[in-house]
Structure 1
Amino acid sequence: MAPRGGARPGAGRKPGKVSAAKRELSDMAKDHAQAALDTLAAVHADKDAPAAARVSAATAILDRAYGKPPQSLEHSGKDGAPLMPPSITFVLDEDPA
């Protein structure tokens, strides 16, 4: 009997493949991209708009222009030392009263 489960050669979605539905949605969104960017620019430029809306619009514009900034991950502890898991100490109560 052949083994079941696990990884099989050639199985799964091929890298770089996009479904037709995603491609169609992307094409529809591109039709509205300039109007959306104009709206973001107008909100950002509106001095009477709430600050949160202006910041959100500015962030969205920058993300589209330059991409989102990379997220930094710390892989070492202080001064380059390896990260150590916190220690756990169990204390038994001698008097269970």
Structure 2
Amino acid sequence: MLVTEKGMALTALKRHADALALYDGAFAHFSTLLISDDLSKARLMRSRGFSLIELGRLDEAEESYRASLEAEPDHAGAKHELDYIAKLRAGAQAMDVKIVTGAEAVKPQ
């Protein structure tokens, strides 16, 4: 969880290469711990995929999202990002990153 939080902070600063290095380092140094925790592995793969999209490395991003779906097959966010990658490949414009805080995410109904 700490790795993904730090990665999100790096993403907010548009330091996508640093975020990717963080995620890759987590897999390199803690792979034995991650193997037993599929949901953590899936979360890191999605975070890694996002960084790769921002770096324009779509093939690797797609691989990361597909790997995340092996651990968490019905994750809507991963499926959405795979659709987004397909749209980028078809010529769609990349969307800006919008960081949503807890206060913005919770809207009164």
Question: TM tier, shorter chain?
Answer: 0.3 to 0.5
Please report the TM-score for the alignment, with normalisation by the length of structure 1.
0.32
Higher relative contact order (CA 8 A, sep 6+): 2
The structure with the largest helix share of the pair is 2
Please report the TM-score for the alignment, with normalisation by the length of structure 2.
0.29
Q: Return the index of the structure with the highest Cα Rg.
A: 1
